[in-house]
Chain A
Amino acid sequence: MCGILAVLGCSDDSQAKRVRVLELSRRLKHRGPDWSGLYQHGDCYLAHQRLAIIDPASGDQPLYNENQAIVVTVNGEIYNHEELRKSLPNHKFRTGSDCDVIAHLYEEHGENFVDMLDGMFSFVLLDTRDDSFIVARDAIGITSLYIGWGLDGSVWISSELKGLNDDCEHFESFPPGHMYSSKEGGFRRWYNPPWFSEAIPSAPYDPLVLRRAFESAVIKRLMTDVPFGVLLSGGLDSSLVASITARHLAGTKAAKQWGAQLHSFCVGLEGSPDLKAAKEVADYLGTVHHEFHFTVQDGIDAIEDVIYHIETYDVTTIRASTPMFLMSRKIKSLGVKMVISGEGSDEIFGGYLYFHKAPNKEEFHRETCRKIKALHQYDCLRANKSTSAWGLEARVPFLDKEFIKVAMDIDPEWKMIKPERGRIEKWVLRRAFDDEEQPYLPKHILYRQKEQFSDGVGYSWIDGLKAHASQHVTDKMMLNASHIFPHNTPTTKEAYYYRMIFERFFPQNSARLTVPGGASVACSTAKAVEWDSAWSNNLDPSGRAALGVHLSAYDQKLTTVSAANVPTKIIDNMPRIMEVTAP
């Protein structure tokens, strides 16, 4: 990841403004510790903080076309840049950077080239011939991006909120899959896959097609000139990523430079479920495995920093970001600059527990669509910003454009959870990698249900957070919460605690509006709350009761939970379930 900041048409080309832009750009320095660049053309500024992954020696930004009339600042990776280069035989490239193609594609195709890019990206392109510009963000919003407007008529673009919140009158999260064109003066969605309309697809499930699509998604992400590794929690998603990477690493350019043995990383409180599960997978795959332990106190001490970096007050996101944030620092200190991670699978395949209650395949499918569309506010935001805080890049193969297309094309009947036919959640994915000849993973791992992130790091993490929050938020404070925070009112002391910190860093009204809220049960969208009348009626914000699981089950790890009509071991997923905000 890199950090980009653009100020366009601010009617001010003074040294003071330049210094201000430099100062704001430095707020994004953690994203790109390797070098920085500032391009100024009249009253337009493009600033860049670079994390060098491809072509570290010459790829400093901004990037230009041949005659330097077109200037681009990019945060991202373009996985198909070599093919795109070949498609532009008349163009001369100055650098080996994967992002160099963007200026040339624009020159060749005008504004309608964004869908040709395969990767994660956000960029600002300035055409100095007519002082027009375009801004675009990748399909799902893997890279973070914000847009703002100044009173002076300027448009601001920044990788993180902190780059523009103090200088804009209004700002918001830049919609993923969209571009903004100064000529058209507005947004336009460039990403138009079949699933976007939420129509119900009917392609039959073909395990091998799905497998190949995912494998190629992983393989293209091995493009790197620097040391890398995989985040391995030991769950299905990260284990698959690690397995495929380990299998295909040997033939890659990266292996020639950095060795063919894969590095894997896991974080947890001492003795946590994730550490154990990841170790097992790492042993099976033969990776160089690194375990990082943190204490609840370490985590609590980091909370302010986490909120400053992640720019959210969403409780689940903060809980899950903290271990990832701590781990990223350790990973970076080992000299590793890029990791591959398993985000997105739960959204695409309906891996969350509440999907057990989906009334029919139509509802199931539409909920997965909604979840994918919201990813940029939750897991993408977490994965991108927790790692970028330490100059580490996270790549997410499950959010490969082609893979999503294949996976979202499957008749959702196949994704439905059917305990009677032995189909647990994400069965289509598990089944696709169930290869007897050359097993990707041992069966018991392939079919196991594991803790979700926040709990996997250790049960006492969430308890510790709650205990800490209740020490610092009084009942009286909670009583007035709706007056102090009328928008997205925190309903728990923990949420209140996070919110106070958020408001201190980002006091603007626009800032709080970038964070999602609303009714949710166990990570569901508001719409899915309707699946069970008991859910929407239930005032218990923890949602435990709502899902019909007994409280004590959490600690006791009961093996069956009949009331909820869900498979065994569901309790392991509890923490996520508790993470519910009441309407």
Chain B
Amino acid sequence: MCGILAVLGCIDNSQAKRSRIIELSRRLRHRGPDWSGLHCHQDCYLAHQRLAIVDPTSGDQPLYNEDKTVVVTVNGEIYNHKQLREKLTSHQFRTGSDCEVIAHLNKTSKLHFSVNHFLSFPDVVHVHLYYHFLINMSAGELRRWYNPPWYSEHIPSTPYDPLVLREAFEKAVIKRLMTDVPFGVLLSGGLDSSLVASVASRYMLQSEAACQWGSQLHTFCIGLKGSPDLKAAREVANYLGTRHHEFHFTVQEGLDALEEVIYHTETYDVTTIRASTPMFLMSRKIKSLGVKMVLSGEGSDEIFGGYLYFHKAPNKEEFHQETCRKIKALHLYDCLRANKSTSAWGVEARVPFLDKEFINIAMSIDPEWKMVRPDLGRIEKWVLRNAFDDDQKPYLPKHILYRQKEQFSDGVGYSWIDGLKDHANEHVTDAMLMNASFVYPENTPTTKEGYYYRAIFEKFFPKNAARSTVPGGPSIACSTAKAVEWDAAWSKNPDPSGRAALGVHECAYEEAVDEKNANLINGTTTAI
């Protein structure tokens, strides 16, 4: 990841403005610790903080076309840059950077500055933060360039073909092995990260990266001592033969990091903050080992309806539309977490499940196949599991391939969430919570934990526009507001934890009695 900042048409080309932009750009330096650049054209400024992953020696930004009339500042990785370069035979490239193609692809040059968090071609938008757009200075409008079939939320009808799905995912992983620096895989031991690790270690030998950095894959896992994730990940790592790194943190270390986590992830969403904190701590350790890029498993739960509440989807249409909504909201939740928790320390996270082509294929499957059908032995994400169920050359042992694991925040150790709640209870009084709707009329926090995070967020980002970038509204166990309607009991239930709403007994949480139930509760969020 890099950090980009552009100020366009500010009617001020003074030194003071330049200094101010440099100062603001420095706020994004954690994203790109390796170098920075500023291009100034009259009253337009393009600033860049670079994390050098491809072509570290010459790819400093901004990037230009041949006559320097088109200037680009980019945060991202263009996985198909080699094919694109081949198509642009008449163009001369200055650097080996994957992003340089962008300047050359823009044919309407003149005074068009392509300002994008991620411009179109190879990857899907959600990986990157919110403001993915293309400003055409002469047009002055926001335009959606991404128009896949699933976007309309029509119900697809392609029959499920396990091999097609498998190949699409393998391709998505392989193209993300493009790197000139050391990398690894985030491995929680759950299905999604285990598949990423398995595919990556299988194809690593053939990649360019392996020639430079050795063919043994590095995997990383974090947890409180003795946590479920650590155990599960170790098992997978042993099976795959990766070079596995375990990081332990204490509840106190997590609490001490909260302010920084909120500053970096720029949210007050409770689930996101809970899950971001361990990832944030782990990223610092990963970076300290010299690793600059990691592959991660985000997105699978959205595409395949992996969250527990999908068990209650009334029909395939509702199921499908909910997955579409979840994907569209990813940039506010898991993408935001994955991107900003890692970028805080100059580590880049790549998410193969959000490959544009893979999403197309996965979202064109008749959703009947994705439905959770205990009667047919289909647990959640069955289509994905089944696609990698290869008896000849197993990707993962069966019991891992078909196991239901803790979701992130809980997997790091049960006492993490409890510790957070206790801490918040100590510092937020009942009186404070009672007045919450007056103090925070928008997205009013309903728990002390929510209140605690909100107070920190407001301290860093006091503007009204800032709080509006964070989503809110009713939710059960990570569902969208719409899916709350699936069960009449949900919308009536005032318990913000959603535990009771999902019909699971409280104590199941600690004891993890029943694997499926445990998983169910792990999916819970706060806020209704």
Binding site for B on A (CB under 8 A): 15, 18-19, 22-23, 26, 33-35, 38, 52, 56, 227, 301, 304-305, 329-330, 332-335, 390, 471-472
Contacts and interface: CB of A to CB of B under 8 A. Distances in A.
A15 B425 CA distance: 13
B89 interface: no
Interface of B: 15, 18-19, 22-23, 26, 33-35, 38, 52, 56, 182, 256, 259-260, 284-285, 287-290, 345, 426-427
A33 B19 CA distance: 26
A333 B288 contact: no
A301 B38 contact: yes
B138 to A, nearest CB: 29
A33 B22 contact: no
Given A22-B259, A23-B259, A33-B284, A329 B33 contact: yes
A472 B15 contact: yes
Nearest to B252: A38
The secondary structure that dominates the A interface is: helix
Contact of B23 (A38, A304, A329): A304
Contacts of A38: 256
Nearest to B18: A301
A38 B260 CA distance: 14
Nearest to A332: B33
A330 B60 CA distance: 11
A333 B53 CA distance: 10
A558 B285 CA distance: 54
Contacts of B287: 33-34
24 contacts: A15-B426, A15-B427, A18-B256, A19-B259, A23-B259, A33-B284, A33-B288, A34-B284, A34-B285, A34-B288, A35-B284, A35-B285, A56-B288, A227-B290, A304-B19, A304-B22, A305-B26, A330-B34, A332-B33, A332-B34, A333-B35, A333-B56, A390-B33, A472-B15
A22 B256 contact: yes
A388 to B, nearest CB: 14
Given A34-B284, A471-B15, 10 more contacts: A33-B345, A56-B289, A301-B18, A301-B38, A305-B22, A329-B35, A330-B34, A332-B34, A333-B33, A333-B56
Contacts, number: 50
Nearest to B40: A297
Contacts of B22: 301, 304-305
Contacts of A19: 259
A334 B23 contact: no
Contacts of A305: 22, 26
Contacts of A15: 426-427
Nearest to B51: A333
B277 to A, nearest CB: 14
Contacts of B23: 304
Contacts of A26: 260
Contacts of A390: 33
B34 A329 contact: yes
A38 B259 CA distance: 15
Contacts of A18: 256
Nearest to B260: A26
B303 to A, nearest CB: 35
B52 A333 contact: yes
Contacts of A56: 288-289
Contacts of A334: 56
A335 B38 contact: no
A162 to B, nearest CB: 14
B31 to A, nearest CB: 13
A35 B222 CA distance: 14
Nearest to B38: A301
Contacts of B288: 33-35, 52, 56
Nearest to A32: B288
Contacts of B34: 329-330, 332-333
B34 to A, nearest CB: 4
Contacts of B289: 56
A35 B247 CA distance: 12
B290 A335 contact: yes
Give me the 10 closest cross-chain CB pairs, A-B, nearest first. Answer: A34-B288, A333-B34, A335-B290, A301-B22, A22-B256, A333-B52, A52-B288, A38-B256, A15-B427, A301-B38
A472 B14 CA distance: 11
A330 B36 CA distance: 10
Nearest to B426: A15
A225 to B, nearest CB: 12
A325 to B, nearest CB: 12
Nearest to B287: A33
Contacts of B26: 305
A179 B182 CA distance: 43
A501 to B, nearest CB: 9
A23 B257 CA distance: 10
A466 to B, nearest CB: 15
A301 B49 CA distance: 13
A332 to B, nearest CB: 7
Of B256, B345, B427, the most chain A CB neighbours within 10 A belong to B256
Contacts of A33: 284, 287-288, 345
A305 B26 CA distance: 9
A96 to B, nearest CB: 16
Contacts of B52: 333
A91 to B, nearest CB: 25
Nearest to A21: B256
Of A22, A301, A332, the most chain B CB neighbours within 10 A belong to A301
A329 B51 CA distance: 11
Nearest to A15: B427
A59 to B, nearest CB: 11
